[in-house]
Amino acid sequence: MRYFKKEENGRIVCLLCRHYCRLKEGQTGLCGVNKNDGGALENLVYGHPSALNVDPVEKKPLYHFLPGSATLSFGTVGCNFQCPFCQNWQISQTARVDEEVRVLPRQMVSLALAHRCGVLAYTYNEPTVFYPYARDVGYLAKEKGLKNIFVTNGFESVEVLEDMGGWVDGANVDLKSWDEGYYKRRLKGGLEAVKESLRRMVAAGIWVEVTTLLIEGVNDDEKSLEEMADFIAGELGRHVPWHLSAFHPDYKMTDRPATALATLQKAEEIAKKAGLYYVYLGNVPVSAHTDCPGCGKRVIERRGFRVETNRLADGCCPHCGRKIEGVWS
C-alpha cells in the first residue's frame, strides 16, 4: 500500500492512522516516529524493535486463536494515543529510537522459526505507527506458514484497515471507553473510529477479540457497559470474545485504586445478559476457561496464561458437536 499522499508546498499526509497528520518537510506526526523526509514518509522505527519476547498467545490476550501457541512478540517506540494509564508507557510515550538495535524483517521471521513460534504478534506499543515494518515482516511470515496478530487501539486509517486483510489473521482491539469526549480529550483518539475499525476487521475475516481495561469511576458505569456489550453482540457478533481486565495504578494514574474483582464480575454479568458467548476476566486471580455455548460443558481449561486442557475436536465441542468460534489450526 501507499503510506502517504502528497500535497502542495512539499507537505504530505500520513495514511497510517486516523489522525491523518499533515506534515511539512522535516516534521514528524503525533506518534513521533513517522516523518516527512524529502516529500516521502520515513518510518523512523523501521527495523528497530524496542521490545522482543516469546510469549504465549493468551498473553495478548487471544483465547480463541491457536491456544497454547508461542508467539514472537515485538514492538517499537511511539504511539498515536496518549493514554494516562498506559502500562507500556516507557516505550509508547517516547520517540527515542535505539538505532543500534536492528532486526530486519527477514531476520525477525528467522527468529520466529528458530524459537518455534507459529505466530508473530505486533504489540507492546501501537503497531499502526510501525505498520510499514510490521507489514514487511508479516508478508514474509505468511510465506513461511506463520500467522500474524495485531494488538491495537483500533485507530488505524481506512487505508491500513483495507490492507490488513491481506496478511493479518487475528487482532485484539482495545475498546477503552464508551465516551467520545473521553477518547478525544484524554486519549487523543476517537470512539467512532475504533468502532468502525472493529466492524471493518470483522468484515475482512480477521479474527477479533476485544479488551476493555476497566477503571472504576472512569469507564465502569452500568449504562456504558450495557451499550458496549450491545455493540459487540449486535454489530460484531455474539461470538466475539470480550476481555474485561483490571486496571492497576501506573504512569499518570497512580492515584487511583486497582479495579476490584467485584467490578469485573458486574461487567461480566452485563456482557452475558447481552448474549455474549465468551467473556473473560483479566489481571485478576481467577481462571479464564472456555465453555461451550451449546451445552455448557468446559472445552478449554486455563490457569493464568497456560492452557491446561484443550478438549476441542476439530474446533468443535466434543460433547454436543457445536462449532466453537475461533482459529484452531
- The number of distinct structural domains making up the chain is 2
Is the pLDDT at 242 greater than 90, yes or no?
A: yes
Do 117 and 210 fall within a single domain?
yes
Instruction: Over range 5-12, report the average pLDDT.
Output: 94
Pair 186, 274 in one domain: yes
Q: Which of 250, 268, 286 is the last residue of a domain?
A: 286
Q: Which of 225, 152, 236 is nearest to 196 (CA)?
A: 236
Same domain assignment for residues 118 and 257: yes
Same domain, 127 and 168: yes
Same structural domain, 121 and 134:
yes
Q: Are strands 290-291 and 279-282 parallel, antiparallel or unpaired?
A: unpaired
Mean pLDDT of 160-171: 98
How far apart (Å, rounded) are the C-alpha atoms in residues 276 and 259? Answer: 22
The answer to whether 174 touches 213, Cβ cutoff 8 Å, is: yes
Q: Read off the pLDDT of residues 13-45 as tens digits, 9 standing for 90 and up.
A: 999 999 999 999 999 999 999 999 999 999 999
Confidence at residue 56, expressed as pLDDT on a 0 to 100 scale? 98
Q: Is the pLDDT of residue 198 over 90?
A: yes
115 shares a domain with 54? yes
Stated pTM of the model: 0.97
What pLDDT, on a 0 to 100 scale, did the predictor assign at position 140? 98
pLDDT, residue 287, reads: 86
Q: What is the pLDDT of residue 171?
A: 98
116 shares a domain with 38 = no
Pairing of strands 22-23, 34-37: unpaired
Query: Which residue type does 117 have?
Result: C
Task: Let me know if residue 237 belongs to a domain.
Answer: yes
Q: CA nearest 74: which of 106, 119, 117, 120? A: 120
Share of the chain above pLDDT 70, in %: 100
Claim to verify: residue 130 and residue 155 sit in the same structural domain: yes
Q: Which three cell numbers stand for residue 41?
A: 514518509
Same domain, 9 and 102: no
Nearest one of 199, 284, 210 to 247, comparing CA atoms: 284
- Same domain membership, residue 132 and residue 57: yes
pLDDT at 283 over 90: yes
Instruction: Name the DSSP letter for residue 156.
Output: B
- In a domain, residue 315? The reply is no
Residue 5: other Cβ atoms inside 10 A: 13
Query: Quick check: is 186 in a domain?
Result: yes
Percent of the chain topping pLDDT 90:
98
Residue 326 lies in a domain: no
In a domain, 54, yes or no: yes
119 belongs to a structural domain: yes
Per-residue model confidence (pLDDT) at position 311: 98
> What's the confidence (pLDDT) of residue 182?
97
Is the residue at 291 inside a domain?
Answer: no
pLDDT tens digits, one per residue of 68-103: 999 999 999 999 999 999 999 999 999 999 999 999
- The confidence score (pLDDT) of residue 59 equals 97
Are 78 and 205 members of one domain?
Answer: yes
Structural domain includes residue 309: no
DSSP assignment of 194-223: HHHHHHHHHHTT-EEEEEEEE-TTTT--HH
Tally Cβ neighbours within 10 Å of residue 9.
7
pLDDT tens digits, one per residue of 201-233: 999 999 999 999 999 999 999 999 999 999 999
Q: Residue 321: is its pLDDT beyond 90?
A: yes
CA-based Rg of the chain, rounded to a whole angstrom? Answer: 20
- What value does the mean pLDDT take over residues 128-152? 98
Shared domain check, 56 and 30: no
Write the CATH number for 61. 3.20.20.70
The boundaries of the domain holding residue 25 are 4-42
Q: What is the mean pLDDT of residues 257-263?
A: 97
